[in-house]
Amino acid sequence: MNRRDFLQAGAAGLVLPASGVFAAPAADPKIRVGLIGTGWYGKVDLFRLIQVAPVEVVSLCDVDKAMLSHAAEMTATRQASKKVPRTYSDYKKMLSEKDLDIVLVDTPDHWHALPMIAALESGADVWVQKPISKDVNEGRAMVDAARKHKKVVQVGTQRRSTPHLIEARERILKEGKLGKIGVIEIYCYYHMRATGNPPDTNPPENLDYEMWTGPAPMRPYNPMVHPRSWRAFMEYGNGIVGDMCVHMLDMVRWMMDLGWPVSIASTGGILVDKKSKANITDTQEASFDYGDLKIVWQHRSWGGPADPTTHPWGATFYGDKGTLKANVHGYEFIPLGGKEKPVKVDVKYELDLYPEDDTEKDIEKHVAPAVRGHMRNFLEAIKTRGKPVSDIEEGHISTACCILANDALKLGRTLHYDPQSGKVKGDDEATRLLTRPYRAPYVHPAEGRA
């Protein structure tokens, strides 16, 4: 029995004890893992997986040689075997080995679809970061590929595995303590938009910029782009809506059991910071219409938050019996009428169980428990061959809604997307935006789709 047969047969002997930490008899084979994209969150995700499962990280891939080498050294210190993983500059060569049970895709957003689908084709189950795609039809193709190959795909929208948010969902929403909810505000007021305007230059020798650009338009290299400020450019991502709204919209959909909205509209632009080279909005509102329920997003990368008493990135649920404020640092229930008691719960760190969190560079300590929980859920779905909590289809809905919000802003009108036909109703121009043009020789995964 090979490793993949072992996993798909139900992982006999692999148990999930009450602590949530996997334990396996010494004779059991390790789960073999590969990572594509070894930057900031690639390592965050990989090291959380190492913390909760008996894995062997055998392969790493990145187009930045310096980043790749550093990640290989760090991984060797973190995994039990102390082995240095094999390294690759081309994900296709890494996947051609066909010896990976799990592949993590943590590339910049414009590079999610092709490696994810290729990993499925190689026989692996996949973890892919949000937003899953740069355009809507990439996402549809990713869902189709997961179903075709019968693989488990977990999307990195880990709010669904955040302990205090799970509690808020069960304790406040499911028990009806808010009453009828008519409006949910989701928001981000972080000053996270890149504000510089450095001159273009030659790419560093350690970076294969041609491969890094991949299917995206070829821009002159700018030091803002790599390694993390690529989010400042719409060529590589979906702006702050795609980066931050996707988390909160996905959280709200999960907490409220929502699917696709009826319509999506958006307004905003670059209203304040006109000097930066960044071409994403510094101000944007988006409305997701669910009939009797309206979800409204707002971000501003300047000024102060709308409500200084709450966390600047979160969601506020307004019901006729009370209000719920939920974010990555905790939740607060504010009842009306005096029949219920207020509730305030803060995030619980796990430094006593995972002291290495305290020294890991760039880790978000408050998010680490959620990523670990998300990884455990992913592994359990692999074991049972069921759907994880952030199944690829859920990730597609949340991602596509954010992309459609950007399209609505670009076109200046409300969009009514039909997920069955894969078209925007009565709007051929908006439908054409669902598939971005790929730079040759790359081929869009939706090409030829009926």
Query: Rounded mean pLDDT of 95-103?
Result: 97
Q: For residues 346 and 330, is the Cβ–Cβ distance under 8 A? A: yes
pLDDT for position 420: 97
Q: Report the CATH fold assignment for 164-196+226-350+395-432.
A: Dihydrodipicolinate Reductase; domain 2 (3.30.360)
The pLDDT tens digits for 190-230 are 999 999 999 999 999 999 999 999 999 999 999 999 998 99
| DSSP letter assigned to residue 158 | G
DSSP result, 164-227: HHHHHIIIIITTTTT-SEEEEEEEE----S----PPP-PPPTTB-HHHHHTTS--PPP-TTTTT
Does the pLDDT of residue 449 top 80, yes or no? no
Distance between CA atoms of 285 and 19, rounded to whole angstroms?
41
Ranges in the chain annotated CATH 3.30.360.10: 164-196+226-350+395-432
Alpha carbon 177 to its chain centroid, in Å, reads 30
Ranges in the chain annotated CATH 3.40.50.720: 3-160+369-391
pLDDT for position 154: 98
Q: What is the mean pLDDT of the chain?
A: 93
Q: Which residues pair with 423 in a beta bridge?
A: 418
pLDDT for position 29: 73
The pLDDT tens digits for 325-334 are 999 999 999 9
pLDDT for position 261: 98
Query: Is 163 exposed, middle or buried (CB count within 10 Å of its CB: 0-12, 13-18, 19+)?
Result: middle
318 — pLDDT class (breaks 50, 70, 90): very high
Does the pLDDT of residue 350 top 80, yes or no? yes
Query: Starting from the edge strand earliest in sequence, which strands make up the sheet with 31-36, in order?
Result: 86-88, 55-61, 31-36, 102-105, 125-128, 153-155
Does the pLDDT of residue 14 top 80, yes or no? no
The pLDDT tens digits for 182-200 are 999 999 999 999 999 999 9
The pLDDT tens digits for 413-432 are 999 999 999 999 999 999 99
Q: For residues 426 and 162, is the Cβ–Cβ distance under 8 A? A: no
| DSSP letter assigned to residue 387 | -
40 — pLDDT class (breaks 50, 70, 90): very high
3-160+369-391 CATH pick, 3.40.50.720, 2.40.30.10, 2.30.140.10, 1.10.150.130: 3.40.50.720
The pLDDT tens digits for 101-144 are 999 999 999 999 999 999 999 999 999 999 999 999 999 999 99
Helix (H) or strand (E) holding 248: helix 246-256
Does the pLDDT of residue 408 top 60, yes or no? yes
103: left (phi over 0), alpha (psi -120 to 50) or beta: beta
24 — pLDDT class (breaks 50, 70, 90): very low
Distance between CA atoms of 162 and 358, rounded to whole angstroms?
19
Q: Write out the two tokens for 198.
A: 């450095």
Q: Write out the two tokens for 386.
A: 């069921």
Helix (H, G, I), strand (E, B) or coil at 412: coil
Q: For residues 142 and 392, is the Cβ–Cβ distance under 8 A? A: yes
